[in-house]
Chain A
Amino acid sequence: MKKAKSFWLFIILAVFVYGLIQFLLTSEVLNPYYQNMFIVMAINIMLAVSLHLVIGITGQFSIGHAGFLAVGAYVSAIFTMKLGLPFPIALLAGGVVAALAGLIVGIPSLRLKGDYLAIATLGFAEIIRIVFLNIEYVGGAAGLQVSHLTTWTSTFIMLVLTILIVVNFTNSRHGRACIAIRENEIAADAMGINTTYYKVIAFAIGSLLAGIAGGLYSHNFYIIQPTNFGFLKSFDILIIVVLGGLGSLSGSVIAAILLTVISTFLQDYPETRMIIYSLVLVFVMIFRPKGLMGTREITEFFGLGKWKSSKGGN
């Protein structure tokens, strides 16, 4: 019964957050500038949560997440701009193609471990970026013009779906298998878990969600260029996950909110922006070396059971 209760609490909380922000925006307490901040924040949360599944849950250190963001961004932009299809279909297509790209990248590279996997994923992400750079159809280095279709509502719906998918996957035998791989791959293998299969699956789901986030990302700007998806973007996402605490979904969410707010407010001080941003990261790592939340979930502080817990189980 506990799990059903926390599921509905999550839905109520989501509706409340949506309603509150929608109210603040429509009543013009917050000006439209903030609407963009909330969209960027939601996209960052989606990216962080999708990478959390790969790094935090399955323990595979991938630092090429921007590559899948790029696939989703470009594919969905092609669907709306070149093929004239509706935005929801474009989002879905971006996600599916990104998941396929995840499979193609994941199957060879997930045989590698640790540093080697990190380098391989970084390399693949750069390959994806350079492929888009050299395709005239999507504008090459000049970029592709995209209409502004992303709304706060569509972004928020996708955000809620992303969190539900990751939480439901994590709290099942499949998620436990992934955590077992993170904790001890040899033992997981000896317990009958097909480790390669689950690593690839987690990677593909992570890529799917990053691809959907990519569709929202591209339609939130008027133009997308390959330079938006360089390795610095991958590191931005990685920083959110590490800062939130590896293995903690709520940590990723909190860190994404925090870092988006900080970088939005720092835009008024372009000279010192990166210095302050970096100092925040340094201080968090000094005082909370395991990230803001460690491996714990926010629900544990309120005794809401383990519904959002990364530790599996219901």
Chain B
Amino acid sequence: MAGQSLLQIKNAGIQFGGLKAVSGFNMEINQGELIGLIGPNGAGKTTSFNLLTGVYVPTEGDISFNGERLNGLAPYQVTRKGISRTFQNIRLFNELSVLDNVKVAYHSLAKHSIISSILRLPSHFAGEKEMEEKSLEFLKIFQLDRFKDEKAKNLPYGQQRRLEIARALAAGPKLLLLDEPAAGMNPQETHELMELIAFIRNQFNLTILLIEHDMQLVMGICERIYVLDHGQQIANGTPEEIRNNPKVIEAYLGEEVHSDHA
């Protein structure tokens, strides 16, 4: 199952003034894996996503993807290298239609120039037609095609989450980062999401890294799990190993209290 190494993070970290938000973060992801990143609130999970996607520039360490160094690249450049993401708080283009949301993600895969669009040259029509067809395909896969002309903000919450994943996939990633995809979902929706993640992974030959609080989801689908606490990596291993790791239990439940009364 596991192929070549796709992503390597070595000792990465970021410091905001005197605060070390994340430090000494190591991770290696192989082609085709599905990895979970967990940790208590404020552990630095989203910060490590932001380091990875170029939102923050790491103040220490190295990030390399597919053999290329990512440090210092802007987010749009990281996306073009093949890493795309969803957000913890949904960030759709609210006033755009569902179809146009996906088209925006397909933007950098199209090639027609500004001049060709203003003069309405044939390359504009060909490019726009291709974008339209590809975007519709993505919507069909996610069963969102019946909403295609609806504004994104009018979709129900669960569908917005699906649309965000569809949009991230349309950017053509090799590695997909999902930031709490099940947040705010009921058990039924979470179950559907798990099936969806398994499906797109096979369909698009994807490698997936996800942040999640829903332990049932993480333990159910992830092959390996990394655990962060206070900006430090405290464990990594299979779901079984993580479940029994004393450090992880301590991070989540607190230290065992040695009480005086027996």
Contacts and interface: CB of A to CB of B under 8 A. Distances in A.
Nearest to B81: A192
Interface stretch (A18-26, A174-182, A261-269): A174-182
Given A189-B74, A193-B76, A180 B93 contact: yes
Interface string B100-140: 10011101101010100111100010011001100000000
B179 to A, nearest CB: 11
Contacts of B93: 179-180, 183-184, 187-188
Given A174-B114, A174-B117, A176-B104, A190 B97 contact: no
A191 B80 contact: no
A81 B234 CA distance: 75
B96 A312 contact: yes
Contacts of A312: 96, 100, 103
B169 to A, nearest CB: 11
A247 B80 CA distance: 29
A186 interface: yes
B96 A194 contact: no
Contacts of B91: 184, 186-187, 190
Contacts of A189: 74-76, 79
Interface residues of B, number: 39
B117 A179 contact: no
Contact of B118 (A169, A183, A188, A191): A169
Interface string B64-100: 0000000000111001100011010001111111011
Contacts of A174: 114, 117
B161 interface: no
A176 B95 contact: no
Nearest to B85: A190
Given A184-B92, A311-B100, A313-B100, A177 B124 contact: no
Contacts of A313: 97, 99-100, 103
B66 to A, nearest CB: 16
Interface of B: 53, 55, 74-76, 79-80, 84-85, 87, 91-97, 99-100, 103-105, 107-108, 110, 112, 114, 117-120, 124, 127-128, 131-132, 167-168, 171
Given A184-B91, A190-B87, A313-B99, 20 more contacts: A168-B118, A169-B114, A173-B107, A175-B117, A176-B100, A176-B103, A176-B104, A177-B104, A179-B95, A186-B55, A186-B75, A190-B53, A191-B79, A191-B104, A192-B171, A194-B76, A295-B95, A311-B96, A312-B100, A313-B100
